[in-house]
Amino acid sequence: MNLMTARTGGLAALAIVVAVAPVGFSNSYFYDVGVNAMFNAIVCVGLNLLIGYAGQISLGHAGFFALGAYGSGILTERYGVPAIVALTLSAAVVGILAFAVARPILKLKGHYLAMATLGIGIIIHIVLKTEAGITGGPDGMSLGNFKMLGFTIKGDQMWYWVTGVLLIFAVWLSLNLIESPVGRALRAVHGSEVGAEVVGVDTSSYKVLVFVVSAVFASVVGSLFAHKNGFITPDIGSFFGSVHFVTMVVLGGMASVYGAVVGAVILTLLPQLLAVVEQYEAMILGVIMMGTMIFMPKGLLPSLMIKLKSREAGR
Amino acid sequence: MFAAFLQYLFSGLTSGAIYALAGLGFAIIYNASHVINFAQGEFIMIGGMATATMVAAGVPLYLAIPLAMVASMLVGVAMEKFAVEPARNADVVTIIIITIGASIFMRGAAQIIWDKEFHSLPAFSGETPIAVMGATLMPQSLWVIGVAAVVIVGLWYFFNRTMFGKAMLGTSHNRLAAQLVGVAVKKVLLASFALSALLGAVGGIVVTPITFTNYEAGIMLGLKGFSAAVLGGLGNGTGAIVGGLIVGIAEAMASGYLSSAYKDAIAFIIILFVLFFMPSGLFGKRGTDRV
């Protein structure tokens, strides 16, 4: 087993970080932030497959996240469906919806694709806000703990460990996908879509597949987020939610699974750190977004890796 | 029956004119640099907020308007210089994040320079409604539509009859060739941002007496301007104008006859529907890829 490969070495490192981080957690607030960082990380690992590997942008993934959350909320609270069934059903519905829109949408390129995904996200957000009879409208809705097989996940600490295991599983899943023929096909699509088609890659099927996978990731995390938080509002599906996810992926590093994780963690921690200068939070966030993209267009992790490698080579 | 229809049409034309101006702003920058400027809505907000706060502070309207336009243009130029120019050859996603970052920055700054309250302006020529075949038309709506029309004619003249406008148009067709015949491409890029910011500011100023404005007012206006530009086919000026009017009128009809709650969704439903069948918008060129 080679510890330097992304699959074994990276996964081990991630597991160690997840396991050791709580040493520095002095109260449940740290666990809470940690859980949210990992929730975002899971969404970003999925979204990175689409943006980083297949080279397709989506400005609407917060919509899928919100659908997962509301699916779970509505099914468990109004119809008494068990949480795990609600999560699975919501993910299935989101997957089918993503599949239905994927083919026409992924034919679009660049800014047209950005517009279409943005539109889907905004429509979902408005529906959740307007259909108050089902969703509770802008006031939001509350829901109970996540119960499964007589076992209840509650408290920030327990959620931390559950989410940690899920994050490692998600990273493992996406590393496997990338190293499979699907991953190679996706990279070919990113390199040159026409070129890939010419050599016989069914590009649109692969794009659809990865769009559906990333939407399902977002939906599952949305369901978990809803139970963990106990309260959701339509704003979790807003345009800025989607922008937030995309920024995490690009900031951490496109086409780098761990980069997506790093980006998610940094952007989740940032508002906590900036809380001190609350008034200037938006301006600082804007500067960070612009600055990273200007000076490190490949994202944090890949840029650091290149630096490290060139230093090693120089020795 | 007809009066109601006319009423919706008036309100649709008014907001459509603003979307058309925003859409043109997107098109001008897109043509010059292939950048989609997600901060276009913030130019609208800056124009409205700057004028409204200056007028509230006692500056006469005829002075506040040009000052606000200049302020907005300076912001546009600064944005090109410090945020877009340094990232010239970056990916589409990267540049999208840069311009979204710029828009978040501008909203943050607006919140601090001004405040989070709603601001308004007095209507330019009174508030006495004009009766037209049973429907009423506010004088300010005429201002909005009229100013948009004047701006559109002015733009047409600029791009077709002046040397610099032609140079900008040339750059949008072929950057390298334009550079070879002596067009100062960098100036063209700066000018495209200044011009878009000016269009945004003008839209923001004339519409503020009707809709009010606050630091977040640019978000939806910007996104709808983007839909207008995409609907018409990115980079196509006429397309952006038609797209803006379609979005505005469809929105007004839908909120009149169907449900006002879904008003903001209409633009995006139309755009999805059109893109499903015409992947390059209504008047866009079919793209071809060089492999």
Span A66-80, pLDDT tens digits: 999 999 999 998 898
List the one residue out of A39, A314, A292, A54 whose CA is nearest residue A162.
Answer: A39
Which residues of B fall within a CB distance of 8 Å from A198?
A: 291
Which of the listed ranges A102-111, A262-271, B88-97 does the model predict with the highest average pLDDT?
A: A262-271
Contact flag B90-A286 (C-beta cutoff 8 Å): no
Average pLDDT, chain A: 87
Backbone φ, ψ for residue B258 (5° rounding): -105, -85
Per DSSP, the residues of A155-174 read SHHHHHHHHHHHHHHHHHHH
Q: Say which range, A109-113, A307-311, B7-11, has the weakest mean pLDDT.
A: A307-311
A253-280 burial: b if 16+ Cβ within 10 Å, else e: bbbbbbbbbbbbbbbbeeeeebeeeeee
Interface membership of A191 toward B (CB under 8 Å): no
Of the partner residues B91, B105, B226, the one whose CB lies closest to the CB of residue A115: B226
pLDDT at B222: 93
CA distance B208 to B214: 10
Q: Flag if A293 and B101 touch (Cβ within 8 Å).
A: yes
Confidence of residue A1 (pLDDT cuts 50, 70, 90): very low
Going from N- to C-terminal start, the domains of chain B cover: 2-277
CA–CA gap between residue B218 and residue B46 (Å, rounded):
8
Q: Do B93 and A57 touch (CB under 8 A)?
A: yes
Q: Which of residues 75-134 of A touch B (CB under 8 A)?
A: 104-105, 107-112, 114-116, 118-120, 122-123, 126-127, 130
CATH 1.25.10 is held by the domain B2-277: no
Among B42, B93, B263, B270, most A C-beta atoms within 10 A, so best to mutate, is B93
Measured between beta carbons, the chain B residues lying within 8 angstroms of A194 are: 289, 291
State CA A140 to chain mean position distance.
22
pLDDT recorded at residue A201: 77
Per-domain residue ranges of chain A:
32-238
State whether the Cα torsion A32-A38-A42-A48 is positive or negative.
positive
Asked if A283 reaches chain B (Cβ–Cβ under 8 Å), the answer is yes
CB contact under 8 A, B262 and A130: yes
More confident residue, B261 or A227: A227
**Cβ-based neighbour number of residue A233 at 10 Å:** 19
- Most confident by average pLDDT, A155-159, A200-204, B219-223: B219-223
Q: Respond yes or no on whether ipTM tops 0.90.
A: no
A153 touches chain B (CB under 8 A): no
pLDDT of residue B132: 85
What is the count of residue pairs from A and B with beta carbons less than 8 Å apart? Answer: 139
Q: Is A199 on the interface with B (CB under 8 A)?
A: no
Element (H, E) at B181: none
| Averaged pLDDT for residues A258-266 | 92
Give the count of alpha carbons within 13 A of A181, CB side only.
4
SS3 at position A147: strand
> Do A285 and B234 lie within an 8 Å CB cutoff?
no
Q: Is B288 a residue whose pLDDT tops 60?
A: no
Return d(Cα B167, Cα B184) in angstroms, integer. 8
What's the number of CA atoms in the CB half-sphere (13 Å) around residue A32?
A: 8
> Residue A297 phi/psi, 5° resolution?
-60, -20
Within 10 A of B253 (CB to CB), how many other CB atoms are there?
16
* List of chain A residues whose C-beta atoms are within 8 Å of the C-beta of residue B93: 51, 57, 246, 250, 254
